Structure 1
Amino acid sequence: MKLLRPVALALLLSVGLPAQANSGSGDPRYTIQNPPAFAMIGDLLIARPLLLAATVIGAGAFVVSLPFTALGGGVGDAGKALVVDPAKATFVRCLGCVGEGFERQE
């Protein structure tokens, strides 16, 4: 009986704490978006193909502009703007969500 009460209390606290931490933390990494079905369908049929096309076109533009950006020293900025940002919007975001699904803070 003496062992049952602390074990039950520890189990109850361990089950209840993650839900409290995620719901009231205010940290944008822990906010869960719950988009409606029409937003998911629009994202799947319209936005993702356009973003994929933007990624491919941006990669081509990056390769074409690479000699000029290398001379100017802006290869990293050009790569991020033309390839990485559209690719993140295409592949990292959850379906129908507005923001990115993964953000690493440095």
Structure 2
Amino acid sequence: MNLLHRSAAVLALTTGLLALPAHAEVVQQNASGNPVYEVEAPPAYSMIGDLLIARPLLIAATAVGTVAFVVSLPFTALGGNVKDAGKALVVDPGKEAFVRCLGCTTSGYKRD
């Protein structure tokens, strides 16, 4: 196994281990004012599918969206919707690729 294969394996395992903690989201507050959390704990097969299939596709979508954004920039600037185009083509796929927990269906980053 050469250095590239070892590095790729270590990176994949490290990414998987870092994303293992369950994703918790504050849903509401109870009567005493304490937050009530909704925990999304995806199964292992969901995490593996996300790591091997969804994340590479989302990273590719972010890269393609970035190229499309740069190519369309003169037209979106003339139309006045640069911010909307950037959010749709670059930010949204990037949030799903890099911020969402492994195997979760919702993004952990809630600011727009």
1:66 aligns with 2:67: no
In the TM superposition, what whole-angstrom CA distance separates every residue of 1:48-104 from its partner, at most 9, and x where no partner exists? 000000000000000000000000000000000000000000000000000011213
1:91 aligns with 2:98: yes
Q: Please give the root-mean-square deviation of Cα atoms over the aligned residues, in Å.
A: 2.2
Q: Any stretches of 5+ residues in structure 2 without a counterpart?
A: 1-23, 29-35
Normalised to the residue count of structure 2, the TM-score between the two structures is 0.67
Report which of the two structures shows the higher radius of gyration computed on alpha carbons: 1
Match of 1:39 in 2: 46
Identity within the alignment, %: 67
Match of 2:55 in 1: 48
Higher helix share: 1
In the TM superposition, what whole-angstrom CA distance separates every residue of 1:16-37 from its partner, at most 9, and x where no partner exists? xxxxxx8xx743x932210000
Match of 2:89 in 1: 82
Q: Which amino acid aligns with 1:101?
A: G
Work out the CA distance in 1 between the residues paired with 2:69 and 2:111: 24
